[in-house]
Amino acid sequence: MSSKAEEPQEAEQAAGKVEIDMEWVPSLPGGRSVYPAEQENRFVWLVAEGAMTQKCFNEMREYLHYIARKELWTQRWDGKPPIALE
């Protein structure tokens, strides 16, 4: 059983974890190839189909998962949505 003194630290550590991923989308506005989609504790690179090879996508995705697993990525979410695509 954890003590009260440990609880804030555990909550802070849990809040620091972030999920990073990549997802294919049919297209992105303005002819963009990639776009970062962000929300609290989740950061996803949207990739327009045809913008990169499947091999490149898979390798980049593995790097991103490694970075998240090793907690090398931190996210300071301010609660504001990302800037809109133009």
For the chain, the structural domain boundaries read 13-69
Please give the residue that has the higher pLDDT: either 85 or 56: 56
Q: What are phi and psi of 37, to 5 degrees?
A: -110, 125
The 10s digit of each residue's pLDDT in 25-83 is 999 999 999 999 887 788 899 999 999 999 999 999 999 999 888 888 777 777 666 66
Does this model's pTM top 0.85? My answer is no
User: For 13-37, b where at least 16 C-beta lie within 10 A, e where not — what string?
Assistant: eeeeebebebeeeeebeeeeeebee
Q: How far apart are CA 55 and CA 58, in angstroms?
A: 5
Give 2-14 pLDDT, tens digit per residue: 444 444 444 444 4
